[in-house]
Amino acid sequence: MSSLIRECPRALGGKPKRVWTVLFCCCLTFAASTDDSEKSNPSGNVFQGGKIQIRQNPTPKEQTPSAPVTRTQKDTVFSLDEFFGAPIETLDYDQLLTLASTYVESQTLQGIPPTTAWQTLENKMKASSRTALSPSARTLLALVKNIFAWQELEAAFTTDPSGNALRRSVAVVKDQAAIDPQFDNERLKRILETIETKGLFVPSSILFRRFVIPYRPMRIPSESYLLEIPVKPEYQDAEHEVRATLDFLAPFAPVHRIDFDTVGTAEIRVDKSVDGKKYEKVQSWTTQRRGGIRGPVFLQPPQKTRFLTLTAIAPAETAVLRNIRIFAIKESPLAVCPKSSVPPLLDADFKESCWPREPQVDGFVLNTEPAFAEAQTTVRLIHDGETLYLAAYLREPRMATRVTLPRQRDASLDDDESFEIVFVFSDDVRYRFAINASGTQSDSRNNDPTWDAAWRVITKDYPLGWAAEIAIPFQAFEGRMLPGTTCAANFIRTRKNVVTERSSWAFSATAEKETFGKVLLD
């Protein structure tokens, strides 16, 4: 392994805190400087000899008291804090590992190669300061470098197991053993024996004590993102076959990438279902190669479905399937609202034929990190030339613990299970309409809560969620909402339950300002 990867420090460990949004935002800056990085690294392999100097801690696996921080050092640490979105000096080893893996995965989900991503970070570090880094900063950078190196070698091994990627991985294992305070000599010995005698590449969950998605070249549609769907698989185990069933509660985003850990699997199969009873095959992958199939797999084309099963088949040994992670495409938020000659009946049942079969608004994303919300919301829209109608269904698997109360008109709904609609027109006039699950209405014009419009809403509870059917007269928009026009819009869900989430339809990785989608009235 190159001298760059061997320059790893030691540090202590602990428990993590997520900082997804800030790290995801950093990726866009990195992507913009990719061309310069590639010019300064013609070989395309930064791990064959880098230039950033990460100084060793004097004593392995023991915390060394830090020297007094000079102003220059403090400024350097602060710039890293800003970049990674966390107070690095206050984090223990496990928190630093989470910070590092989160950053690496954010690059991976944009399709940025590990060598390019590391070179860009290295260049930024060299440009910012040449002063010594603190122990925590050195540990964080070493972890990032190790994970990138693992990704590069794992991808090379998957493409060509007979190459030298397996041999080079030994150095990464030793470097990680020097950093991780829980990496004892017995564990190191077992891993090295597996590599050298069995010819198997060490999984990330073994090497880093957590599953890190591997790098694969990907193409995502323009103005779209690849985001994770939180899942809790239900497993059915047999000796030579393991099946994991995933229920997304609604078909809200096209599933594209499926990551998992498995050993000796000869076949991976994906099936889908609308009702969880009748399944149809989506795609399968087979191999006769030693070690079996390696994840991830990519669905071509991506699939929008409620239920998905992932099956691992290993005829010659015990089947293994774990660490399943699902990634789907967050599409550009655009909703076309058709005209209906017959208005719907406001009853929160949505049974009329005038409603579109598929929702025009779906794929709600968390406001705290770039990932899909666990409890998804879908919205259908129609108009009759005089009134805008919306049918919102807010899925909730924990209805018994939902928080909502009847309140006075225009009361704050921040502490309730609620749904909010925002329209902004070309003259920057902003209209907001919000309801809670009990039917309380709140509205404003340009953030003035004393403004009231004559709009109607009916809410209704269901076993796995609640519905709101809304009618807003065009008159409420004072001549701005007309057929044939487009306006900026967003739909926001506040989930108040045992789990609290705030999610929205329009999503931007930069998060620098409020983001909107577009609604076009036919």
Q: How far from chain centre, in Å, is Cα 322?
A: 19
- Most confident range, picked from 158-167, 465-474, 505-514: 465-474
* pLDDT at position 80: 84
Please tell me the class of the 225-330 domain: mainly beta
Check if the beta carbon of residue 394 is closer than 8 Å to that of residue 375.
Answer: yes
pLDDT bin (cut points 50, 70, 90) of residue 71 is: very low
pLDDT tens digits for range 302-311: 999 999 999 9
Q: Of 208, 260, 216, 229, whose CA–CA distance to 99 is shortest?
A: 208
Taken in order 373, 376, 380, 381, is the CA torsion positive or negative?
Answer: negative
Residue 78 parent element (H or E): helix 71-84
Q: What is the mean pLDDT of residues 24-50?
A: 40
453 contacts: CB under 8 Å, gap ≥ 6: 431, 433, 443, 445, 472, 473, 476
Q: Of 299, 114, 311, whose CA–CA distance to 212 is shortest?
A: 114
CATH topology of domain 334-521: Immunoglobulin-like (2.60.40)
CA distance 339 to 430: 23
Does 334-521 match 225-330 at the fold level?
A: no
Q: What is the mean pLDDT of residues 59-67?
A: 40
Determine the straight-line distance between the first and last CA of the chain, rounded to whole angstroms.
60
pLDDT bin (cut points 50, 70, 90) of residue 123 is: confident
pLDDT tens digits for range 342-356: 999 999 999 999 999
- The tokens of 53 are what? 């100097």
pLDDT bin (cut points 50, 70, 90) of residue 133 is: confident
Q: What are the structural domain ranges in the chain?
A: 3-207, 225-330, 334-521
Distance (Å) of CA 121 to CA 52, 227, 386, 399, 500: 10, 23, 54, 45, 34
Q: In the chain, what percentage of residues exceed pLDDT 70?
A: 84
Taking residue 121's Cβ as centre, other Cβ atoms within 10 Å add up to 22
pTM attached to this predicted model: 0.84
